[in-house]
Structure 1
């Protein structure tokens, strides 16, 4: 949960506050990943875990769940951060807060 929260919050902030070439493409990849059934990825993920020698380990379970839940959480975090007023971020910058 901590890994998903950290990654999705950082990605959601960047995707909602900064405009750069490919911004919407990256967001579309996050959203499009949610439409991919997990069953389609079972064999490639199993093969990857064999190659990384992570079969029957806790690390494999953590990597699997973080990678498959980050796209969904990023969708929510991007929309939440985009709904916050810009004055809130300006006030934080005036107080000395960095974007990170």
Structure 2
């Protein structure tokens, strides 16, 4: 499994609306080929910053299939208005399970 970690900085004072928009997008991710999981985490030290963490079967499920789909366009239409800056996206894979 590959994890997409998108660091998203939003405009001040739109947290509830942003979180509602992400909640509305859950079915979009659930229906996307290769999407295995999705969660949104708010950074404690930087209140206007979130990590969207999405599990994909393969890197291509995200970078090729999802990014070129109408679903991606719908996702960005829901959440894009809340962005203070373009998201920073990285991909990770598990290197070690400690416990």
* TM bracket, shorter-chain basis: under 0.3
Return the index of the structure with the highest Cα Rg. 1
TM-score norm. by structure 2 comes to: 0.25
Between Structure 1 and Structure 2, which shows a larger proportion of strand residues?
2
Structure number with greater CO (CA < 8 Å, separation at least 6) is 1
Structure with the bigger percentage of helix: 1
